[in-house]
Amino acid sequence: GENVEQHPSTLSVQEGDSAVIKCTYSDSASNYFPWYKQELGKGPQLIIDIRSNVGEKKDQRIAVTLNKTAKHFSLHITETQPEDSAVYFCATSGNTPLVFGKGTRLSVIA
């Protein structure tokens, strides 16, 4: 089945700096790549997603890039703020249920 590797597992950045989280996947049939943010004590929430016919997507300070040839995709957060501190999960699916990465704990230091 699908295998999703997510790196790094923890990431600390200074407020205002950028953060990048990377994921690789194994199933070439995967065509949907969402990112979820989990704040303390809450369930994960979708923040951005991309489909395989698109190479990059932006939404204000967050962006996702996809390289289907290399089977990897990344989340980019610019001008980080303390409220960006959370656990972030990447995920993939094709015609099968979403498979999640193990998560990245992002800490934004003021």
Partner 1 sequence: EAQVTQNPRYLITVTGKKLTVTCSQNMNHEYMSWYRQDPGLGLRQIYYSMNVEVTDKGDVPEGYKVSRKEKRNFPLILESPSPNQTSLYFCASSLGQGSGTGELFFGEGSRLTVL
Residues forming the site for partner 1 (CB under 8 A): 1, 6, 9, 31-32, 34, 36, 41-46, 49, 51, 89, 93-103
CA distance 29 to 95: 8
The nearest distance, CB 8 to partner 1, in angstroms, is 13
CA distance 11 to 29: 30
CA distance 108 to 66: 25
Nearer to partner 1, 51 or 61 (CB): 51
CA distance 51 to 57: 9
Residue 66's SS3 state is strand
Nearer to partner 1, 78 or 105 (CB): 105
The nearest distance, CB 51 to partner 1, in angstroms, is 7
CA distance 82 to 29: 36
Nearer to partner 1, 78 or 107 (CB): 107
Nearer to partner 1, 43 or 60 (CB): 43
The nearest distance, CB 62 to partner 1, in angstroms, is 15
